[in-house]
Amino acid sequence: MLQTLKILITGGGSGIGAALAKHLSTLGHSVIICGRRRERLEQVASTNSGIRHHVCDVSNENSVATFADFVGKQFDALDVLINCAGLQGEIGRFDRTDSKKWKETFEINVYGTYLVTKHLLPLLLKSKIKKILNFAGGGAFGNFPNYSAYAISKAAVVRFTENSAEELAGLGVQINCVAPGFVATDIHRATLEAGEEVVGEGYYRFTREKMKKGSVPLDLVVKCILFLISPESNGLSGKTISASFDKWGADVFRASIKEIMNSDLYTLRRMNLVNLDPKDELRVRLTDL
């Protein structure tokens, strides 16, 4: 029998957050969503009686504290926290961007993840499940020209996840990141609105095609998250799992969690000489210095 969970999803009014809320509620889980746009939240909540909603700006600590009080009145404990709220933010060469909008991307993506996790942690610790999921994104593990605010903020979310995983390990909390890949949601409309000259010809055309044809199926991302909040992922923490590339659905992955945790696999790390093949010419040349 499926264990029903008490789940909180930020950014639940649209995109991946909304899809998650709808799917998880159909499975019988109790879901609370939050976001800044009441009408979007109401629309999602109207699809299932198992979804409750509350307006919250995750970048505002007073708003988050008020929201945490609301959640505490609905749930005696919180099993799963999914930090899905995010912005793609300012687009363009960094010195040509609006400084306030660039900062806002960090306030939502990074500070918002921090605030919600901080204020909901006491309720999460009352659960036996204690799972947190954050979202990585384009640029977290590689350069993403003209998207500096988004890329750098997502790298920061990954590091926050890894750091928090160590800090909370003794409390039984598992915290991981999901890298969803390019999912055709409204977040990418900012790219199309910015235009080819600002975005760059290659990525603009890439986005336009992906928005038409789709890329990573939304249901694949949902399935990955279902795995990460299930008992099958127990023991996995401080990792970023790609919904589309990693073999999280395979039995061998699940049987290898202990080995994965003892490695740097699925983490944000600097490449050192020892990471290169011992016969690599550059490694040999620099090692001899």
Q: Which residues are catalytic?
A: 150
Residues in the chain: 289
Q: The dihedral of CA 12, 13, 19, 21: what is its sign?
A: positive
Output phi, psi for 56, to 5 deg.
Answer: -155, 135
**CA neighbor of 164 nearest in space, from 240, 70, 253:** 240
